[in-house]
Structure 1
Amino acid sequence: MIIEEMTMPEFEAGLKSCATAYIPFGSVEEHGSHLPLSTDTIEAYEVGKRAARQIPLFVAPPIHYGSCRSTACHPGTISISTGTLKALLKDIVRSLHSHGLENFVVLTGHAGGSHRMALQDAGEELLLELSGINIAVVTEFDLAKDLGAHLIETRGDAHAGEIETSRIMHSHPHLVKGTAPEEYPRFPTGILVRDKRSFWPGGVWGNPAKASAEKGEKLESLVADRVVELVKALESRRW
């Protein structure tokens, strides 16, 4: 059930058979010279839609903005504060809960450290605030990397490389503008730098040349299957 495409009566009818929502978070962030700025959002949303074809599941409209520190100097990245990010998740869950939803899978396509921690913190606070809910907070890239380890040829692939290029080649091939050079940035240990782009000029972390649409389809399927498992786990008991 894709919420943004539903009417009010359709949403109301859906509540009779489903109390679980999938909330996809993404970003507007550089992904090299070859992938769209909304790569993270696309990946997270496509996984939710795929999972909803397997089980009853409300799929919320994606949140397109995230906290992007490492790429903040790269053109096109639009970052929000962690405080704003936390408030967004908490308000969305509160609103969905007011309609009767009880279980929430929060999946982020953006894997930035501060971004992930903000969502996890918000989830923990919601557990204390709303005693009847269950919530999972997971990172889409981590699932793809772990579940699809047998498919990935690039060691240390992390951003706009083999995994993400494969994903967009599968779901949105018209948005892939060729490829980009292999790149593995090295930031100074422990030092906070202002001009992060000077350490990461191309905005790629991995090898896009190893990507394929076939890998992307398999990775998307594996992550969607894991989301289905999470939904069933949340619905099976109170956590």
Structure 2
Amino acid sequence: MIIQEMTMTEFEAGLACSRTVVIPFGSVEEHGPHLPLSTDTLEAFEVARKAAGIIPLFVAPPVHYGNCRSTLCHPGTISISTTTLRMLFKDIVRSLRNQGMRNFIALSGHAGGAHCMALQDAGEELITELMDIEIAVVTELDLARAAGRGLVETAGDSHAGEIETSRILHSHPHLVKGSAPCEFPSFPPGILVRNKRRFWPGGVWGDPGKASAEKGALLEDLVVGKLVDLVKLLESGEFK
């Protein structure tokens, strides 16, 4: 049940089937010279949409902006503060709860550390505030890594590399523009640098050369399965 495509009557009827909603979080962030700025959003929304075709489930409109620190100096990255992200997540959950939802999954296509911690902090505050809800916060990358053991060849692949290039080659091939070199940036330990692009010029963390659409299709199906398992676990009542 894709909320942005539903009428109010369909939404109301859907509550008889499910009280669970996935909220896809993405970003507007550089993904090398070959992938679109919306890569994170596209991945999260596509997985949520496919999961909703397998199990009764609401999918909220994606949140297109995230907190992006390491890529802030790269062209095209548009970042919001962690405070804004936290408040946005909390407001969305409160509003959906008022509409009858009880189980919430924040599925983040963006795996930045501060971004993910902001979502987790907001989730912790919400389960303390609202005793009748359950929340899970998970990243697309974590699901892909867990599901893709033995399939992903690149150790430490994390951004615009083998995994993400494969995923977009499968789901949105028209948005992949050429190729990109393998890159593993190295930031000075402990030092907060202003010009992060100096230490990460190409905007890739991994090896796009090992990507393929076939690998992307397998990865996407595996991630969808992991999300369906998570929905069932959250709905089991085990964590009340």
Q: TM-score, normalised to structure 1's length?
A: 0.99
CA distance in 1, matches of 2:126, 2:118: 12
* Mapped pair 1:118 → 2:118: yes
CA distance in 1, matches of 2:12, 2:146: 37
Shift of residue 146, structure 1, vs aligned partner: 1.8
Partner of 2:62: 62
1:63-212 paired onto structure 2 within 5 Å: 63-212=63-212
CA distance in 2, matches of 1:136, 1:130: 14
Contact kept, 8 Å, 1:66 with 1:115, in 2: the verdict is yes
Partner of 1:220: 220
Partner of 1:20: 20
Question: AA paired with 2:149?
Answer: A
SS in 2 for 1:124: helix
Render the CA deviation track for 1:153-176: whole Å, top value 9, x for unaligned: 111111000000000000000000
Shift of residue 142, structure 1, vs aligned partner: 1.1
CA distance in 2, matches of 1:180, 1:216: 17
CA distance in 1, matches of 2:160, 2:223: 18
Aligned-pair identity in percent equals 71
Shift of residue 238, structure 1, vs aligned partner: 5.0
Shift of residue 8, structure 1, vs aligned partner: 0.6
Shift of residue 151, structure 1, vs aligned partner: 0.7
Render the CA deviation track for 1:35-86: whole Å, top value 9, x for unaligned: 0000000000000001001000000010000000000000000000000000
Question: AA paired with 2:150?
Answer: H
Shift of residue 147, structure 1, vs aligned partner: 1.2
Shift of residue 141, structure 1, vs aligned partner: 0.5
Contact kept, 8 Å, 1:134 with 1:238, in 2: the verdict is no
Question: AA paired with 1:179?
Answer: S
CA distance in 2, matches of 1:16, 1:156: 43
Shift of residue 211, structure 1, vs aligned partner: 0.3
Question: AA paired with 1:204?
Answer: V
SS in 2 for 1:33: coil
**Matched residue count:** 239
Contact kept, 8 Å, 1:25 with 1:109, in 2: the verdict is yes
Q: TM-score, normalised to structure 2's length?
A: 0.98
In structure 2, runs of 5+ residues without a counterpart are none
Shift of residue 232, structure 1, vs aligned partner: 0.7
RMSD value, Cα: 0.7
CA distance in 2, matches of 1:101, 1:168: 31
Render the CA deviation track for 1:96-120: whole Å, top value 9, x for unaligned: 0001110011110000000000000
CA distance in 2, matches of 1:196, 1:220: 31
